[in-house]
Amino acid sequence: MLSGTNVQAVKADLRAQAVETASWAYANSGTRFKVFAQRGVPRTPQEKLDDAAQVHRHTGAAPTVALHIPWDRTDDYAALAAYAGERGLRLGAINANVFQDDDYRLGSVCHPEARVRRKALDHLLECVDIMDATGSRDLKLWFSDGTNYPGQDDIRARQDRLCDALAAVYERLGDDQRMLVEYKLFEPAFYTMDVPDWGTAYAHCLRLGEKAQVVVDTGHHAPGTNIEFIVALLLREGKLGGFDFNSRFYADDDLMAGAADPFQLFRIMYEVIRGGGLTPGVAFMLDQCHNIEAKIPAIIRSVMNVQEATAKALLVDRAALSAAQQTGDVLAANAVLMDAYNTDVRPLLGEVREELGIDPDPVAAYHRSGWGQKIIDERVGGTQAGWGA
Amino acid sequence: MLSGTNVQAVKADLRAQAVETASWAYANSGTRFKVFAQRGVPRTPQEKLDDAAQVHRHTGAAPTVALHIPWDRTDDYAALAAYAGERGLRLGAINANVFQDDDYRLGSVCHPEARVRRKALDHLLECVDIMDATGSRDLKLWFSDGTNYPGQDDIRARQDRLCDALAAVYERLGDDQRMLVEYKLFEPAFYTMDVPDWGTAYAHCLRLGEKAQVVVDTGHHAPGTNIEFIVALLLREGKLGGFDFNSRFYADDDLMAGAADPFQLFRIMYEVIRGGGLTPGVAFMLDQCHNIEAKIPAIIRSVMNVQEATAKALLVDRAALSAAQQTGDVLAANAVLMDAYNTDVRPLLGEVREELGIDPDPVAAYHRSGWGQKIIDERVGGTQAGWGA
Amino acid sequence: MLSGTNVQAVKADLRAQAVETASWAYANSGTRFKVFAQRGVPRTPQEKLDDAAQVHRHTGAAPTVALHIPWDRTDDYAALAAYAGERGLRLGAINANVFQDDDYRLGSVCHPEARVRRKALDHLLECVDIMDATGSRDLKLWFSDGTNYPGQDDIRARQDRLCDALAAVYERLGDDQRMLVEYKLFEPAFYTMDVPDWGTAYAHCLRLGEKAQVVVDTGHHAPGTNIEFIVALLLREGKLGGFDFNSRFYADDDLMAGAADPFQLFRIMYEVIRGGGLTPGVAFMLDQCHNIEAKIPAIIRSVMNVQEATAKALLVDRAALSAAQQTGDVLAANAVLMDAYNTDVRPLLGEVREELGIDPDPVAAYHRSGWGQKIIDERVGGTQAGWGA
Amino acid sequence: MLSGTNVQAVKADLRAQAVETASWAYANSGTRFKVFAQRGVPRTPQEKLDDAAQVHRHTGAAPTVALHIPWDRTDDYAALAAYAGERGLRLGAINANVFQDDDYRLGSVCHPEARVRRKALDHLLECVDIMDATGSRDLKLWFSDGTNYPGQDDIRARQDRLCDALAAVYERLGDDQRMLVEYKLFEPAFYTMDVPDWGTAYAHCLRLGEKAQVVVDTGHHAPGTNIEFIVALLLREGKLGGFDFNSRFYADDDLMAGAADPFQLFRIMYEVIRGGGLTPGVAFMLDQCHNIEAKIPAIIRSVMNVQEATAKALLVDRAALSAAQQTGDVLAANAVLMDAYNTDVRPLLGEVREELGIDPDPVAAYHRSGWGQKIIDERVGGTQAGWGA
């Protein structure tokens, strides 16, 4: 272990960290070329929660589950929340979907036609109703809105429409509710998205007020973007609402968090900690697609990857780092950071888990549990959940 | 018109240029988020040919149509070829599909399992059978094969498997048949594709022999890649088999050719002409997705964009350019190229069309024809064609 | 000419447009590998103005010249302004340089050491003094500040320091003076710049007040960034102060404006016009490096490229565009834009020039003038101006 | 330590690995904006060797030093080799420089003018003469040749000229000498380089013969390029001659190897080992710029980073990996790789060093040695070495 580390404090932070998993990550997903269905995939929101409970059981770190409306639509959200509660879970962020109705071919809240904008807004407001029922704090807003061709629509008019819709939703939020505005460089729009970067999301949130915060999806940036810089800046501005974690080599690949660039995830977590963001005010959510790998163990692994990056970031000798920075010793400062990164934190996290009464190796424990086979055997018939694109 | 231009020669080249359209571009397509179905979309290969005939009717430049197997599977390919012939069309390249069967989750000809590789190879060989029936010259091979995670499979072993499959297909080709090997940086694989760049495709084609050529899809490169350089190089090596034209701002956006960067398309066509590639030996194919725009007029527009880029490239004053290049006059050489690019070639192409007996404005003529409304009215019921992902 | 165009209004706008050239673009520049000195290059700020006067003489559109301190340091700025005035020029933006002193190895206003920060701030304040003497309106602030290695310095503390420096400079500005804050993704810092994107520049300007505006250098973005979106957004927020025009295929290549992607420059100018930015409130500046080509004709060509893009953007049939956008006709809307782009506006600009009493072909007129040979003959001895890196 | 590891074999491989340092990395370097000179920097090739000897002394893994001509030009190369030998070093690759003469503004071996091409070729041949004198095996050829503007020169003609020059140099090589052809996406040319990618280098090397090999500079690729795939492919083709190691977040940043993406360096080393490339046939060279950090400890750190990546790659449980790959278990296969990556190999490398009789912590040992202060004190006056751009 690194010298000077307060191991108990590090462990306490690790025990406190919660990673929210996404209901849709338990379901089938794919690319535009093919969705490879997997056996045992949930058919209902309840079955998704059953799977999520397995992730929490083996990691002790995934107590909440984000819903996506309408993919998780149900008649009785309070009952769904109770179902979650019985499995040791809570319902997390409500994710609005204004991109899959035929009406949304040219956008939702930015659509040129008022009727479509109204329809989209109504859905967003319905999502706040659902939050009231589930007790969710966060409304996550990702808009697929944008244009594919130059000239297709008026960039500025679309901003005006977006502004109006966000204001209407903001007005509807309860005292303890927040709106998390997500940005994305491209896809599904290929000329311009209406919220392509953090600056755009920030400008809107600033105008709206305190309950509007920016959410950083780690796969939604241009090549070369320094994500941890954005994190540091948003924390400084009091505008970081949370993360959609995943990883990528190219575009929005939606691979497991930490799989493509574990050093980047570590740097992000370092800036979170440095900026005082390791608090409930910053939501740590996974938003990934397990297109070819088994879903539950992939999610377990992703939670572990976030934990390992956090553990390493907590191990950074902040005093030594600051001293080296102050004296302008580039190599010494970098070395302090790398010492933490190069530490094998798996034993430490194993201890944390054992102190929580769970297996130090969550993946092995999951495989031993037989759950994977059980759902293959039992979930026969019905319609598997998926994006329904 | 630029001085020194042999207008008749330019017109002759433009009249001779043929752009192959893709059967699947007449069908529904979309992103992983949503396929927005359009009214009037074809339900059969025959209806796709009906639409393609409209494109050829109004442009005079789209006499062939590429097929995609199994999307265009039929019991009688000779009959389909005859159907095309009756509409003034010929069947073009056969596009193999080894990415949509459940067996292909981890690859096709590069799959770790021999059974799956054999199945994929059998499909490729079947495609050559179809070529025999349709009289197609080109087998287009795009492999979605690759891996999503480091370590998932052995990069080199996958190359060995690819090598074996290509050799088996090559062996099966008839004397007048070719194999066009496509490359792509990423998607649907997100760690590495098995043929990610032109160098990989070239290395395989070189080993195979003369009938194996590289096909350049203009949307399949890393950001910043100079595509016209690749074109020049492949022509110099005698290995450019053709193009899949489309355009992009980000990744494989599959927008209309020339829509995102018309200057790039001009530069590509200039290198084609410079390298002697304006011949039947280089296939000019469109491979695009019209996710939100009307499909037939979008394809007409794309053909026109290729023609306009070609016309401008033909107008380059090669003697003046060469003189400026020889003397190292950077600005003069660039200016010669830009003079051609900045010329409005639409009147010239209007004349070419009138000499062919068609309307100088293909899009307007198409809209006047009523075809768009007719197919909406008549194509009721049935299952619309699409990628079937 | 496009139907419905008010040619006189277009010409009036083109006559009114002024492009500011940069004093340093007349001097030697290069890459880290080599600066290729050119014969005839200016040795003094006065000779730079002599060259700039040639650009204005032949284009009628380049009446102001930006200075760079200390590259253009002189004992008497009022005399330099008078020198410019005698040649029909005015002095434009003052560009501060806090990146070439040995003290700035780890930054300037963001440096960990207070002494260095103070030195940098003093230079910025000196630049405002110079503005008072030259009558310049704009102080252009580009900071090379950043870090090369993770951990090297504290990202957030550097923002605090930046904030303090900007506030001190803002305080010093006169009533008619502005501060233009530039952003850049990378180079010379390679891990993170302290102002890497428009969002960071915007957040600082917003806090400072009305006299702080963002300046967009067209070469300072990540691959794939939609620059015209940023332009539209900044205009909507009232925060677009101006442009540093240049073009690039890869990074900050600093090629001639419009050379790499003329369609992009057109789209940018369209959003400028659409957002009401074709006013003196938005400064159109060139910031380029003519490393291998003759400098004066390259700058003439760049001014012309900006004019051509502007002319095309002015020709867009706004009513037809709006109508197509309102009805969601993607192809029609795109076609309206492309019709303007595909128009050859060189004859129109030739007319504008003739009405101004200058040659319709500025490059040819420059070459006929003999100036290029004259400066080669006369500027013998002395030290050529350059970046002095 | 990972189970199943043959620790002695791993240690043997680590002891055998040699990393070649570059003479110019001990000298001043910078960006086009500024070279920040450092105190104590060498003034002669001999002083560079003195510094390189320190790196080897403390790492035991850097026995050879690459030279750059003319930066390391001397009257007596045999004497320089003897000087190296006395310090326990050997002279390594000879790096040709055909980019810093005024004649090379438009290229060297690809220049339109025959006289310049001849001059460049003569320099390359001179470098082979130097190899004869130094006993170097490898001639490293990086060409800055390319164009900045479309049309500037003829892409294909430049390939023809390149081909001729390479053939002439190849002909001159001795039996035990090799030619390593480097590629680079961009910089200093900004429209196209004449050898922009591995495919181009490969095509030339293939034509030349066995003694021509490709060298991979890890900073010379487009964003998103999978470098380890290229490594695997070149090894499969028998065409990987070596590496220029460095790291980057953006372009050719030339940061310390392993600093920007240690996981990538690990993946590269894994493919090297997998492909049988951990042999003298593959040259492991550093090619970096220490613009702001102390040079000698930065090079020590870089050597260590290569060693750590190699150690982790050697720890991969190849049997377990292969088993998981064969069964298509994506997560298990990835986990095998990540287990090795997540291992802290610093203790293992410490042991290797102690067995070599050197300090387990090379950086600390270097700092204790007093060399850094000694060269500051002693190297006073004279002209510091640098790129001389």
Please tell me which chains touch D, using 3 or more CB pairs under 8 Å as the contact test. A, B, C
Mean pLDDT calculated for residue range D345-366: 98
Residues of D in Cβ contact (< 8 Å) with C100: 33-34
**Is D192 in contact with B237 (Cβ distance < 8 A)?**
no
Mean pLDDT calculated for residue range C149-170: 98
Indicate the range of A2-11, A51-60, A99-108, D193-202 predicted with least confidence. Answer: A2-11
Tell me whether residue A339 is in a domain: yes
A168 touches A125 (CB < 8 A): yes
Residues of C in Cβ contact (< 8 Å) with B294: 330-331
Phi, psi (deg, nearest 5) at residue C332: -65, -40
Nearest CB to B31: which of A149, A187, A249?
A: A187
Residue given tokens 């596009």 in the structure block: B95
A184 touches A145 (CB < 8 A): no
CATH number at residue A317: 3.20.20.150
Tens digit of each residue's pLDDT (9 = 90 or more) over C259-299: 999 999 999 999 999 999 999 999 999 999 999 999 999 99
Tell me whether residue D386 is in a domain: no
Phi, psi (deg, nearest 5) at residue C243: -125, 145
- Measure in Å the smallest separation between the Cα of A243 and chain C Cα atoms: 18
Q: DSSP assignment of D274-335, as one string?
A: HTT--STTSEEEE----SSS-HHHHHHHHHHHHHHHHHHHHHS-HHHHHHHHHTT-HHHHHH
The pLDDT of residue B104 is above 70: yes
Please tell me which chains touch B, using 3 or more CB pairs under 8 Å as the contact test. A, C, D
Residues of D in Cβ contact (< 8 Å) with B149: 330-331, 333-334
The pLDDT of residue B160 is above 70: yes
The pLDDT of residue D389 is above 60: no
Tens digit of each residue's pLDDT (9 = 90 or more) over D225-238: 999 999 999 999 99
Report the pLDDT value the prediction gives residue D115, as an integer from 0 to 100: 98
- Measure in Å the smallest separation between the Cα of D250 and chain A Cα atoms: 6
Tens digit of each residue's pLDDT (9 = 90 or more) over A232-278: 999 999 999 999 999 999 999 999 999 999 999 999 999 999 999 99
Tell me whether residue D72 is in a domain: yes
The pLDDT of residue A1 is above 60: no
The pLDDT of residue C246 is above 70: yes
Q: What angle do CA A338, A339, A340 make, to 5 degrees?
A: 90
- Measure in Å the smallest separation between the Cα of C202 and chain D Cα atoms: 23
B225 touches chain C (CB under 8 A): no
Strands B283-286 and C21-22 come out as unpaired
The pLDDT of residue D329 is above 70: yes
Phi, psi (deg, nearest 5) at residue A5: -80, 135
Residues of A in Cβ contact (< 8 Å) with B37: 102
Q: How far apart are CA C339 and CA A349, in angstroms?
A: 62
Tell me whether residue A12 is in a domain: no
In this structure, what DSSP letter does residue C29 have?
-
What distances in angstroms separate CA D216 from CA D188, D205, D272, D304, one per listed residue? Answer: 18, 13, 12, 20
**Is D232 in contact with B159 (Cβ distance < 8 A)?**
yes
**Is B148 in contact with D325 (Cβ distance < 8 A)?**
no
- The residue of chain C with its CA nearest to that of D104 is C36
C279 touches chain A (CB under 8 A): no
- Cα distance between the two ends of chain C: 48
Tens digit of each residue's pLDDT (9 = 90 or more) over B135-146: 999 999 999 999
Strands C212-217 and C240-245 come out as parallel
**Is C237 in contact with A274 (Cβ distance < 8 A)?**
no
A225 touches chain B (CB under 8 A): no
**Is B293 in contact with C330 (Cβ distance < 8 A)?**
yes
HSE at residue D293, side-chain half, CA atoms within 13 A, is: 33
- The residue of chain B with its CA nearest to that of D329 is B152
- The residue of chain A with its CA nearest to that of D264 is A261
- The residue of chain D with its CA nearest to that of B266 is D150
D263 touches chain C (CB under 8 A): no
Nearest CB to D99: which of C33, C188, C250?
A: C33
The pLDDT of residue A11 is above 70: yes
B387 touches chain A (CB under 8 A): yes
What are C91's strand-pairing partners? C65
Mean pLDDT calculated for residue range D12-16: 97
CA dihedral B335, C259, D226, A230 (to 10 degrees): 170
Report the pLDDT value the prediction gives residue D3, as an integer from 0 to 100: 61
Report the pLDDT value the prediction gives residue B388, as an integer from 0 to 100: 75
Mean pLDDT calculated for residue range C220-226: 98
**Is C149 in contact with A233 (Cβ distance < 8 A)?**
no
Phi, psi (deg, nearest 5) at residue A15: -65, -35
What distances in angstroms separate CA C137 from CA C95, C128, C177, one per listed residue? Answer: 11, 10, 5
The pLDDT of residue B4 is above 70: no
pTM (2 d.p.): 0.98
Report the pLDDT value the prediction gives residue A5, as an integer from 0 to 100: 77
Residues of D in Cβ contact (< 8 Å) with A250: 224
The pLDDT of residue B389 is above 90: no
The overall average pLDDT reported for chain A is 97
Residues of A in Cβ contact (< 8 Å) with B255: 148-149, 190-191
Tens digit of each residue's pLDDT (9 = 90 or more) over B263-314: 999 999 999 999 999 999 999 999 999 999 999 999 999 999 999 999 999 9
Tell me whether residue A247 is in a domain: yes
The pLDDT of residue A290 is above 80: yes
Residues of B in Cβ contact (< 8 Å) with C363: 331, 335
Confidence of residue A388 (pLDDT cuts 50, 70, 90): confident
Q: How far apart are CA A33 and CA A389, in angstroms?
A: 12
Confidence of residue D5 (pLDDT cuts 50, 70, 90): confident
Tell me: cis bond preceding A188? Omega within 30 of 0 counts. Answer: yes
Tell me whether residue C386 is in a domain: no
C267 touches chain A (CB under 8 A): yes
The pLDDT of residue D1 is above 60: no
Tell me: cis bond preceding D188? Omega within 30 of 0 counts. Answer: yes
Mean pLDDT calculated for residue range A153-166: 98
Q: Encoding tokens for residue B175?
A: 């004397």
Confidence of residue B2 (pLDDT cuts 50, 70, 90): low
Tens digit of each residue's pLDDT (9 = 90 or more) over A338-353: 999 999 999 999 999 9
Q: How many domains does chain A have?
A: 1
D356 touches chain C (CB under 8 A): no
C191 touches C147 (CB < 8 A): yes
- Measure in Å the smallest separation between the Cα of A36 and chain B Cα atoms: 6
Query: Complex ipTM above 0.95?
Result: yes
Strands A240-245 and A283-286 come out as parallel
Domain that holds residue D262: 18-378
C192 touches chain A (CB under 8 A): yes
- The residue of chain B with its CA nearest to that of D191 is B226
Report the pLDDT value the prediction gives residue A23, as an integer from 0 to 100: 98
Confidence of residue B5 (pLDDT cuts 50, 70, 90): confident
The pLDDT of residue C3 is above 80: no
Tens digit of each residue's pLDDT (9 = 90 or more) over D248-257: 999 999 999 9
Tell me whether residue B9 is in a domain: no
Residues of B in Cβ contact (< 8 Å) with A387: 32-33
The pLDDT of residue C30 is above 70: yes
Residue ranges in chain A assigned as alpha helix (H): 7-16, 45-59, 77-86, 114-134, 155-172, 198-208, 227-236, 262-274, 295-314, 318-326, 330-342, 346-355, 362-369, 371-378
- Measure in Å the smallest separation between the Cα of C342 and chain B Cα atoms: 6
Mean pLDDT calculated for residue range D48-70: 98
**Is C308 in contact with B342 (Cβ distance < 8 A)?**
yes
What radius of gyration do chain C's Cα atoms show?
21
Residue given tokens 């253009």 in the structure block: C72
Report the pLDDT value the prediction gives residue C117, as an integer from 0 to 100: 98
Residues of D in Cβ contact (< 8 Å) with A346: 342
Tell me whether residue D4 is in a domain: no
Cβ pairs A/C, distance under 8 A: 163
Residues of A in Cβ contact (< 8 Å) with D262: 263, 341
Nearest CB to D150: which of B200, B233, B337?
A: B337
Tens digit of each residue's pLDDT (9 = 90 or more) over B72-99: 999 999 999 999 999 999 999 999 999 9
Mean pLDDT calculated for residue range B315-343: 98
Cβ count within 10 A of residue C368: 11
Residues 29-68 of D with CB under 8 A from C: 29-37
- Measure in Å the smallest separation between the Cα of D298 and chain C Cα atoms: 12
Residue ranges in chain B assigned as alpha helix (H): 7-16, 45-59, 77-86, 114-134, 155-172, 198-208, 227-236, 262-274, 295-315, 318-326, 330-342, 346-355, 362-369, 371-378
D152 touches chain B (CB under 8 A): yes
